[in-house]
Chains A and B, each alone.
Chain A
Amino acid sequence: MATVEVTFTPLPAHVRTARLVATAVARRSGVSESLMDEVRLAVGEACSRAVETHAVQCPDEPVRVALSDQAGRFEIEVINAGKAAGMVSGGGRAGDGTLMPPGFSLAVIAGLAEDVQISETEAGTSVKMSWPLSGSLAAGSPA
């Protein structure tokens, strides 16, 4: 079971909230402060991508973000219903003139997270990212 799970309506305004929650949980879990910008950016990219996918394919379905720390790593999984935005034919960033190529955000995520796994199921697409835990507030430590 995830340490914290966030579900939100697929609206751009909520991506920031997801970023803030993910950063707070990462800090709480013991992710090094030097990695915090990468966590923030990677989860933002994954959530933005999920929101765009939902907006086109399933606007009534929530985006799900699962945050967990286990086996010495902090993991974020962003799950979107429907086909991934970067994999949609002719897909690109909605609203910005589609200047960035499809899959651009995935490339950014790959450049940020130490470990990235993307999997597609019938239910949707999952983007898993993880970082090592190194702080003194690792899971199980007293608050």
Chain B
Amino acid sequence: MRDGSITSGAPDEMCSADGWDNGCMALEESVDLKLDHHNKDGIEIVDVEGEIDVYTAPRLRELLIDLVNNGHYQLVVNMEKVEFLDSTGLGVLVGGLKRVRAHDGSLDLVCTQERILKIFRITGLTKVFGIHDTVDEAISTRKSEK
């Protein structure tokens, strides 16, 4: 079986100079998920860039598990450069929260993008996560609650 196929009622227009252009360009994009982390004021900051979905979420899950296994129980996930988040990604974040809480830790989020915040609101997870506008705000809030 081939990996996939696309059939269209107007194949000659697939990459014409209108809406399809965006799709054709997007299909060529190679960046899916970039992960990085660093320590700031004793809190591990996880910088996430790209798309968190059923394909990429396992990488974020592995990073969160590694951090917890290495004794980092105060985490801030910076999602300011996240372009897409689905329920698989939410599951990974909830899993990370569960793991740090088992060590009396915390997992806060930094996110101001409406498109990402929307899925947190739909699922009611705004009540579960601390969601902040900046990394500094997340850190200071966490420090003040200690």
Contact = CB atoms under 8 A, between A and B. Distances in A.
Nearest to B2: A9
Interface of A: 1-9, 11-17, 19-21, 23-25, 27-29, 37, 40-41, 44-45, 48, 51-52, 60, 62, 93, 95-97, 99-100, 104-105, 107-108, 111-112, 137, 143
B88 A48 contact: yes
A99 B57 CA distance: 13
A105 B87 contact: yes
Given A3-B9, A111-B122, A95 B19 contact: no
Interface stretch (B24-32, B73-81, B102-110, B129-137): B24-32
Interface of B: 1-9, 13, 16-20, 22-24, 26-27, 32, 51, 53-55, 57-58, 61, 84, 86-88, 90-92, 94-95, 98, 115, 118-119, 122-123
Given A45-B87, A96-B61, A112-B122, A62 B20 contact: no
Given A1-B9, A16-B51, A28 B58 contact: no
A23 B25 CA distance: 12
Contact of B23 (A15, A24, A62, A104): A24
A62 B7 CA distance: 14
A24 B119 contact: no
Given A17-B4, A93-B88, A100-B94, A27 B9 contact: no
Contacts of B118: 37
Contacts of A11: 3
Contact of A14 (B1, B4, B20, B123): B4
Contacts of A60: 1
